[in-house]
Each structure stands twice: as C-alpha cells, then as structure tokens.
Amino acid sequence: MPSSSAASSTTVATAMTDEAASSLPSREHYSGLIWLVSAAFFMQALDSTIVNTAVPAIASALNESPLNMRSALTSYVLTLAILIPASPWLCDRFGTRRVFGVAIGVFAIGSLLCGVSQTLPELVIARVLQGCGGAALMPVGRYVLARSIDKRDFVQVMSTVATFGLLGSVLGPLLGGALVEYTNWRLIFLLNVPVGIVGLWLNQREMPEYRLDTANRFDLFGFLLFAASSALLLTASEFASDETIRWGAMGALVLLAIAFGAAYVWHSRRTDHPVADLSLLRVRSVWVSLSGNLLTRLGVSGMFLLIVLFLQVGCGWSPLMAGLMMVPQALGSISAKWLVNRMLIRLGYRRLLFGNTLIVAVLLAMFALLGPHTPMMLTALLVFVYGGFMGMQYTVMNTLIYTDLDIKHASMASSMASTTQYLSMSFGIALATLLMQTLLHGQDSHAYVVAFRWTVIVLAVITAVASRVFAKLDKISPTARSVSSSA
C-alpha cells in the first residue's frame, strides 16, 4: 500500500500536524471517506476497462485502424507507472486533501478532453492528462484509509473498497459496449465529469488532511531519469509496430532508454531517498516478485484488447456482446479470491506461483482454439476459468513482495510493485498489438482470427517463462494474515 516513502510509519505518525490530528475521522464518521475512496477506485477501474470494448468504434470515428489505438491505452497506463512513485512525497509536502482533490479534478478534465477529441493524437494527450490524475487516486486513497481507520476495521473496509474496484472492472466492458452500441463512444469519457464534480465536493467534506511538517527532498533527478527511460522504451515499441519499421530510430531510442536506466541505477546508489530504492532487490522475494510480475503481465496484459478485437472484428460480434463476454473474466477473478488463502497455506508461494503460472500459460494457448463458430457458452467458460486463475495469480504476486521485508520498507516496496505493474501492463499491451500487427496479413475477419491465434500462442510461451522465475523462490511459509492483506 503506497504511503510515505520519506519515513517509516512511526516517524510519519509523530510528524503528523495538529490539523491532521483534528481532522482524523472518528469511527462513527468515516463512512463518507470510505464512499469517497470507493468512488475513486470504481472510477479508475471502470475507466481502465470501459475503453477496451469501444476500441473498434473509436478507431472508426477517428479514421484509424483498431490496432493503432494501442497508444490511447498504453499512454494512460504508462503515465500511471511513471507518476505513482511521486504520490507519497506529494502527500507529505502538500497534504492529502489537496493532492486528492487535484487528482480528481485533473482526471475529470482529462476525461472531458478525451470525450471531445477529434484525432488520435488529441486523444492520447487527453489520456496522459487522465493518467496524471489517476496516478494519485489509489495510492493516496489507501494511505488515508490506513491512517484514518481503526486497525480492527481496516481489513473489512479495504475489502469493501476493493469490491467497488472489482465492480468497476465487471461493469466497464459491459457499459462500454452498451454505450457504443446505443449511444456514442464519447459518453464513455464524459460520464467521469459529473462523477468528478461529486468527488470534489466529497473531498472537501470527508478527506482528512495529512502531511509532514518537513518532507524529505524529492528525488527529482532520479524521477526524470526513470520517466525518460520508460517513455523512450514505449516510444520504441510504437516505432516497431509501424508498417515500415524505422530500425535506426528504434535502435537509438532503445539505447537512450538503456543509458537513462543505467544512469538511474548509478544515481539511486548515491542518494539517501531515491524514488525507487533498488537496494531492496537484494531480497530474493522482492526481485522474484518484481521480475515475475513483469514477465507475467507482459504476457497477459494485452489479452483484454486482443479478445475484444477477435470477437468484434474477427467474429463479427456487436460491441455489447463483446463487452458482455468480458464479465466472466471479472467474475472468475472474484470467485478465486475465496481459494487463495487455503491454496497458499497448503502449497506455499513457490509451488503455487510455479504451477498457477503454467496453468495460465496453457489457458492462454487454449484461446487459439476459438473461432467464429465456437459456441458462446464455451467461450464464456474459457474466459471465466482464465479469469479465475489470473485472479489467483495477481493476488499471490501482490502479496509476495512483503513476505521478507521489514514494515518500514513496505511503502517503498508497494510503490515499486505498483510502478512495475503499470509499466509491464503498458509494455504488455504494446507487445500484444505489435505481435498482432506483425502476424496480420490482410484486413478481413479471417486474417484477424489467424493473427489472434498465433499471437496468444507467443504470449503463452512468454508467460510460461515467468514460471521459471517463481521457481527460484525459497520455501516461504505464508500466514493467513499475509494473504488477506493483499491488494
């Protein structure tokens, strides 16, 4: 749970200002705060999934091919990855109420600009602005709840908030498909504007103000190095998916990205408060968690978009039906959460992650068996089972990073995990569309089906490689407490 990376939780508590102490909600009065954070989680989860089913319609309206729309998806996720490490320092420096309010406002403005965009570049810029606001919503929300809610109620409250996030991921594809089919794709983004206005009103009423009297100096140089390296890599992947690949430009961008990344490694060892503390990678469970997360999400992050393109363009399904088919994945993920505790205690991290990752890889490969004439119920069943194993995968991976760390490092580890998650998601979407574009020979529906089948097979192989990373884990004996606290 991202909180202040500037100090341990004890230091933060003693440094809390009088204003923060007076604004701490009592047990009887934190329901408004829970609604506020839940609404933020719901809005971000909804926005992360609602766009997928609308990709073909948006592409048609903007005179682009569906695969070219990847930049509208990856730009949002990459912005989240780059800016999330800055949220703890922003809270310490400017206060949680101000940061959360600005985040809601920026997200709403970005949504408005998305809704009125006339070209793909305009949409990408607006999505970046959305990401600037969205990057602070979840980490600040978690941080404030941890500071405000009694420990005896915290797990129950976080479960309630997480349910709203899952509800957003369930409704997103379905709502996106319905809006595209019966209204206009622009409403997908414009709906966030009234929600944002209500959020700003709730923020002024319910959000407590936490900040430090003296915040540590922000690692601006390290932040810029990290951001430059990430952005250059994604730009290189965009070049790689052009019809005529510009090898010289792409190679130059990759080399620059490596240079900026190496410069950050050098810099982080020479600063007291780096934006990402790479010394934590000396802990086996940390580097296995981060690298396994990276490889796994590289293989699976593009599946949402690929399935939607396959069903709509390859199989001729309507946007509403394609969106409806995404619901079983979210339901499967929710269902799997009831089994995680039991499975982890029985098998341990190494055996569960090794085996579950291989099963996910097999399920990915099984999507290659689908076609235009596959019965709808059979497709829904495969999506449901895939969602169940992916839900277990995400929950266990998100817990692993904390198993061997002292509590004072939890904030930094969480920030690094969130950054890795969103970076790998952006690169996963880019990789999936790059493979699809490379394997696509023609623009007819049959060509899309063939390209989809070969793409998921390649992604399955990449996911299977991640199982070898998890095999390097030591035998860790998880407790029920460590599992239930996972995000």
**DSSP per-residue letters across 264-331:** HHHHHTT-SS-SS-GGGGGSHHHHHHHHHHHHHHHHHTTHHHHHHHIIIIIT---HHHHHHHHHHHHH
Task: Give the confidence band of 223 by pLDDT, cuts at 50, 70, 90.
Answer: confident
Domain match, 445 and 344 both: yes
Burial 166-195 (b: 16+ CB within 10 A, else e): bbbbbbbbbbbbbbbbeeebbbbbebbeeb
Calculate the average pLDDT of the chain.
78
Best-predicted range by mean pLDDT (40-54, 71-85, 293-307, 337-351): 293-307
Average pLDDT for residues 346-365, to the nearest whole number? 89
Q: Which residues contact 242 (CB under 8 A, 6 or more apart)?
A: none
As for how many domains the chain has, the answer is 3
Choose one of 150, 182, 217: the last residue of a domain: 217
Q: Is the pLDDT of residue 369 over 80?
A: yes
254 plus 144 within the same structural domain? no
| Percentage of residues in the chain having pLDDT higher than 90 | 12
Grouping H, G, I as helix, E, B as strand and the rest as coil, residue 192 is helix
- Which of 183, 217, 251 is the C-terminal boundary of a domain? 217
Q: Say yes or no to pLDDT of 44 above 80.
A: no
pLDDT band at 357 (very low <50, low <70, confident <90, very high): very high
What does the pLDDT look like over 159-189, one tens digit per residue? 667 667 767 766 777 777 788 878 888 888 8
Q: What band does 24 get if pLDDT is binned at 50, 70 and 90? A: very low
Would the pLDDT of 340 be above 60?
yes
Q: Is the pLDDT of residue 34 over 90?
A: no
Q: Are 223 and 35 in contact (CB under 8 A)?
A: no
Please report the pLDDT score of residue 297 as a whole number.
87
Residues 211 and 232 in one domain: no
Tell me, yes or no, whether 155 and 60 share the same domain. Answer: yes
CATH label of the domain that carries residue 336: 1.20.1250.20
In this structure, the answer to whether residues 231 and 339 fall within a common structural domain is: no
Indicate the pLDDT class of residue 410, thresholds 50, 70 and 90: low
pLDDT for residue 107? 92
Measure the CA dihedral 390/241/61/319, to 10°: -30
Check whether residue 413 and residue 296 sit in a common domain: yes
Instruction: Based on the fold, state whether residues 261 and 345 are members of the same structural domain.
Output: no
- 16 pLDDT tier (thresholds 50, 70, 90): very low
| DSSP of 234-274 | HHHHHHHTSSS--HHHHHHHHHHHHHHHHHHHHHHTT-SS-
| Cα 139 to Cα 418: distance, rounded to the nearest angstrom | 9
Residues 6+ apart with CB under 8 A from 228: 256, 257, 260
Query: pTM for this structure?
Result: 0.70
Does residue 250 sit in the same domain as residue 292?
no
Please work out, in degrees rounded to the nearest 5, the angle formed at the alpha carbon of residue 183 by the alpha carbons of 182 and 184: 130
Residues 58 and 28 in one domain: yes
Mean pLDDT to the nearest integer, 39-54: 76
Residue 239 domain boundaries: 220-270
Of 77-81, 201-205, 239-243, 478-482, give the lowest mean pLDDT range.
478-482
Identify whether residues 250 and 197 lie together within a single domain.
no
Minimum mean pLDDT range among 10-14, 117-121, 207-211: 10-14
> Are 335 and 472 in the same domain?
yes
Candidates 375, 389, 415, 190; CA nearest to 303 is 389
For residue 126, is pLDDT > 80?
yes
User: Which of 215, 212, 208, 21 is CA-nearest to residue 97?
Assistant: 208
The three-state secondary structure class of 19 is: helix
68 and 10 housed in the same domain? yes
